[in-house]
């Protein structure tokens, strides 16, 4: 059990009862409700997530953080609201953020439950044709989302800057500090990455147009309803929601197996790829592989991925 799970067990779980849930949900929906059941969906890393069955619907999800006025939970409400207003991407309908601490302590995000299960719980049971169908649905949603363009970068609710390089590199540098402190990445690879770091601003300064992105599309954040060896994509969850380089979105999808050559070709037929796309894809995935080495130090995939990305960047810069 991790430290946060112990905190959730102590500060949240004793207050999760049918009556407490009913009070919070009724306050969010602004009418009385009858609760027919509830379940813990996941402990997550930082929050307790509860699925709630409501007589007559809609079914609800409560995401609970033990900190009152938690900025992450409050931001998620605003991101979901912005996506619901600006896009056609299926996302949970946000109803309210409850910081009353009556009767559940902390910060509670109340939102509509997306039907189905997360994709990684269903993908292995799909046929080859079914997997193709799911990838086609996902890239279709991304193509549609990426029609939304801007000139500033940052959170969907409040873009911060017109300089993508400085926005992303600040996050890269914070990640590298954590990577170095972890001790899980060898000196040779770290030296190579820091040598490449000096060249990254020139690679990213070409990104002048921002694209509205989910920013974290992988199989754990895609909800599906399995049927006949395939599945219907019913929604996307845990949305960071940034105006960003479109290549950052696609890089993450590629790293986690949701963007193959066929899907990329379909995307490019609508949104042509610029000349620096492949190089930036490797830059973004270098960071992600390094971060995942810290999280999963014994997984060869991430270590090999980081080395491969670094080698690609070095060759491109010769």
Q: Where are the beta strands (DSSP E) in 205-270?
A: 210-213, 222-227, 230-236, 242-244
State the chain's mean pLDDT as an integer.
Answer: 95
Q: What is the pLDDT of residue 301?
A: 95
**Residue 203: CB partners within 8 Å, gap ≥ 6?**
276, 279, 280, 283
* CB-CB neighbours of 23 under 10 Å: 17
| 252 and 108 part of one domain | no
Identify whether residues 36 and 16 lie together within a single domain.
Answer: yes
- pLDDT tens across 268-298, in order? 999 999 999 999 999 999 999 999 999 999 9
Q: What is the CATH number of the domain that holds 272?
A: 3.90.1200.10
Please check whether residues 223 and 277 belong to one and the same domain.
Answer: yes
Beta bridge partner(s), residue 211? 149, 244
Q: Phi/psi zone of residue 83: left (φ > 0), alpha (ψ -120 to 50 degrees), beta?
A: alpha
Peptide bond into 303 cis (omega under 30): no
Q: Do 222 and 306 have their domain in common?
A: yes
Q: What pLDDT score was predicted for residue 160?
A: 85
**Helix, strand, or coil (residue 218):** coil
Residue 129's pLDDT is: 96
- Residue 62 to residue 110: CA distance in whole angstroms: 5
31 by DSSP, 3-state: which?
A: coil
Same domain for 238 and 102:
no
Give tens-digit pLDDT for 299-316.
999 999 999 999 999 999
The backbone region for 56, taken as left when phi is positive above 0, alpha when psi lies in -120 to 50, beta otherwise, is: left
Pairing of strands 210-213, 149-150: antiparallel
**Model pLDDT, residue 293:** 95
Answer yes or no: do 9 and 27 share one domain.
Answer: yes
The DSSP result for 171-191, as a single string, is HHHHHHHHHHHHT-S-HHHHH
Q: How does residue 45 score in pLDDT terms, banded at 50, 70 and 90? A: low
pLDDT value, residue 309: 98
Q: Are 249 and 241 in contact (CB under 8 A)?
A: no
Same domain, 158 and 89: no
Spatial separation of the C-alpha atoms in residues 103 and 8, rounded to whole Å: 15
Could you report the per-residue pLDDT of 174-222, keeping only the tens digit for each?
Answer: 999 999 999 999 999 999 999 999 999 999 999 999 999 999 999 999 9
- What CATH number is given to the structural domain containing 98? 3.30.200.20
pLDDT range class, residue 158, cuts 50, 70, 90: confident
- Domain co-membership, 96 together with 152: no
Q: Is the pLDDT of residue 3 over 90?
A: no
Which of the listed residues 69, 91, 112 is the one where a domain comes to its end?
112
Are 95 and 199 in the same domain?
Answer: no
Helix extents (H) in 3-118 = 3-11, 18-29, 71-86
**pLDDT tens digits for range 250-266:** 999 999 999 999 999 99
Same domain, 54 and 92: yes
Q: What domain range is 170 assigned to? A: 117-317
29 and 125 within one domain:
no
In this prediction, residue 140 carries a pLDDT of 98
| Boundary residue ending a domain (57, 77, 112) | 112
Q: Is the pLDDT of residue 43 over 80?
A: no
* pLDDT tier, 318 (very low <50, low <70, confident <90, very high otherwise): confident
Question: Quick check: 151 pLDDT over 90?
Answer: yes
Count of domains forming the chain: 2
pTM of the model: 0.93
Shared domain check, 226 and 89:
no
Residue pair 317/199 in contact by the 8 Å Cβ criterion: yes
With bands split at pLDDT 50, 70 and 90, how would you rate the model's confidence at 44? low
- Given 87, 112, 137, the domain boundary residue is 112
pLDDT band at 5 (very low <50, low <70, confident <90, very high): confident
- Dihedral of CA atoms 2, 174, 107, 45 in degrees, nearest 10, equals -20
Q: Which residues contact residue 179 at a Cβ distance below 8 angstroms, ignoring those fewer than 6 apart?
A: 185, 190, 290, 291, 293, 294
Strand order across the 230-236 sheet: 117-118, 222-227, 230-236
Average pLDDT over residues 68-75: 96
């Amino acid at each position: 059990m991790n430290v946060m799970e112990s905190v959730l067990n102590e500060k949240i779980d004793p207050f999760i009862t049918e009556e407490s849930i009913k009070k919070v949900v009724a306050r969010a929906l602004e009418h009385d409700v009858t609760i027919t059941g509830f379940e813990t969906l996941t402990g997550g890393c930082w929050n307790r997530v509860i699925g709630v069955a409501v007589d007559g619907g809609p079914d609800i999800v409560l995401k609970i953080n033990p900190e009152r006025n938690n900025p992450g939970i409050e931001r998620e409400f605003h991101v979901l609201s912005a996506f619901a207003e600006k896009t056609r991407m299926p996302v949970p309908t946000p109803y309210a953020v409850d910081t009353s601490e009556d009767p559940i302590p902390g910060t509670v995000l109340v939102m509509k439950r997306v039907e189905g299960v997360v994709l990684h719980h269903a993908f292995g049971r799909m046929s080859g044709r079914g997997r193709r169908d799911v990838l086609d649905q996902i890239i279709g949603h991304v193509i549609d989302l990426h029609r939304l363009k801007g000139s500033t970068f940052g959170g969907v609710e409040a873009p911060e800057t017109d300089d993508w390089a400085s926005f992303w590199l600040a996050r890269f540098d914070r990640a590298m500090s954590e990577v170095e402190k972890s001790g899980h990445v060898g000196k040779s690879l770290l030296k190579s990455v820091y040598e490449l770091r000096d060249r990254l601003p020139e690679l990213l300064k070409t990104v002048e147009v921002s694209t509205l992105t989910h920013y974290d599309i992988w199989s754990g954040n895609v909800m599906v309803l399995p049927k006949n060896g395939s599945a219907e994509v019913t929604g996307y969850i845990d949305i960071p929601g940034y105006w960003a380089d479109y290549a950052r979105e696609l890089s993450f999808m590629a790293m986690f197996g949701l963007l193959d050559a066929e899907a990329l070709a379909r995307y490019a037929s609508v949104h042509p790829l610029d000349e620096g796309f492949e190089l930036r894809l490797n830059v973004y995935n270098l960071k992600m592989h390094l971060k995942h080495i810290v999280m999963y130090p014994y997984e060869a995939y991430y270590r090999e991925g980081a080395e491969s990305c670094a080698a690609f960047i070095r060759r491109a810069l010769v």
